A and B are shown apart, each in its own frame.
Chain A
Amino acid sequence: MQPVFQRPISLKDVATHFCPGCQHGLIHRLVADAMDHFGVQPQTIGVASVGCSVFLYEYFDIDVVEAPHGRAPAVATGVKRARPDNFVFTYQGDGDLAAIGTSEIIHAANRGELFTAIFVNNTTYGMTGGQMAPTSLPGQRTLTSPEGRDVTIDGYPMRMAEVIAALDGAAYSVRVAVNSPKNILAAAKAIKTAFSYQIEKKGFAFVEVLSACPTNWGMSAVQANERVAKEMIPYFALGTFKEKN
């Protein structure tokens, strides 16, 4: 028998702390798979954020710098500028990237820094128990919006992939999902394309991945996965918003 699907070598063979049905694990696999694809694992430096993905260094077989909350793009800027021959990526949640770290990601993208940002949008602050994030959907009940997000008070969900695409410094910006095999294959391809932008020195690349947080959505894994298609994708359209040659 010949293996047709195996764990990527860049992903350590260890159990994760993620909740059942949490798609951080799947997104980790796709990132590791892209590293294997380009053979960049030995020279990769990951920049972890604060959130449920904080244990990046436990799961990827690479060097990792742990950044303060929201500051991963600033740390990655320093790492990449000091070590231009290394492959550098950030991995950030929506509380990290679109709330406390909005300034860092926007300016890093605008400066056209040559690292890759992986942005996991699960419409909530997962690690701290499900508070409202800038990406929470209108009407979404969270710990801090028990009556549902009221856009007249809390504003509207931010479409980060489009925001980043609007900046001249950004070379590639996409939104993908991992809720079905078809979308997973498209996500895998987008992450590889984003990596190629750094490898070919074409510029800053941003991949927003819609992801389920069954625990804080108060749903089973299957229901949470269904919510991605039913509620998230209609608001956060999948697509390529920037693709510079």
Chain B
Amino acid sequence: MAKVVIDEARCKGCALCTLACPKKLIRMSDKLNRQGFLPAVFPAECSRDCTSCALCAQMCPDVAITVFRAEKGEKP
């Protein structure tokens, strides 16, 4: 159980995070953001499968990704 927050406005749509995720949880949007890029999206239902490994965030050149892990006993 984890949560990945992608700053949509900051994202430049490079797609490098999608390659980094071992579980392929991140996809690219088909809606342009304010900067005119197609941003990366972490679908809410992927929280269940996300291991909070943060490899996506490590790979992001624009530091647009923050990763959270559920604390002990925390309910989804």
Question: Which positions in A face B, CB cutoff 8 Å?
Answer: 1-7, 11, 15-16, 18-26, 29, 180-181, 184-185, 214, 221-222, 225
Contact = CB atoms under 8 A, between A and B. Distances in A.
The list of the 6 closest CB pairs from A to B, nearest first, reads A221-B14, A20-B12, A1-B68, A21-B14, A5-B54, A5-B67
Contact of B54 (A4, A25, A29): A4
Contacts of B2: 4
Contacts of B60: 26
A222 B52 contact: no
A21 to B, nearest CB: 4
B10 A5 contact: no
A23 B65 CA distance: 15
Contacts of B37: 20
12 contacts: A1-B70, A2-B70, A4-B67, A5-B54, A5-B65, A18-B61, A20-B14, A25-B61, A184-B59, A222-B16, A222-B19, A225-B19
With most chain B CB atoms within 10 A of its CB, the pick from A11, A18, A20 is A20
Contacts of B16: 21, 221-222, 225
Interface in B34-76: 35, 37, 52, 54-55, 57-63, 65-71, 74
B59 A181 contact: yes
Nearest to A18: B61
Contacts, number: 76
A25 B63 contact: yes
Given A15-B10, A21-B14, A222-B19, A4 B61 contact: no
Interface of B: 2-3, 9-10, 12-16, 19-20, 35, 37, 52, 54-55, 57-63, 65-71, 74
Majority-rule SS of B interface residues: loop
B64 to A, nearest CB: 9
A4 B68 contact: yes
B71 A181 contact: no
A5 B70 contact: no
A29 B35 CA distance: 21
Contacts of B13: 20
A19 B12 CA distance: 8
Contacts of A225: 16, 19
B34 to A, nearest CB: 10
Nearest to A3: B68
Nearest to B9: A15
A29 B63 contact: yes
Nearest to A59: B63
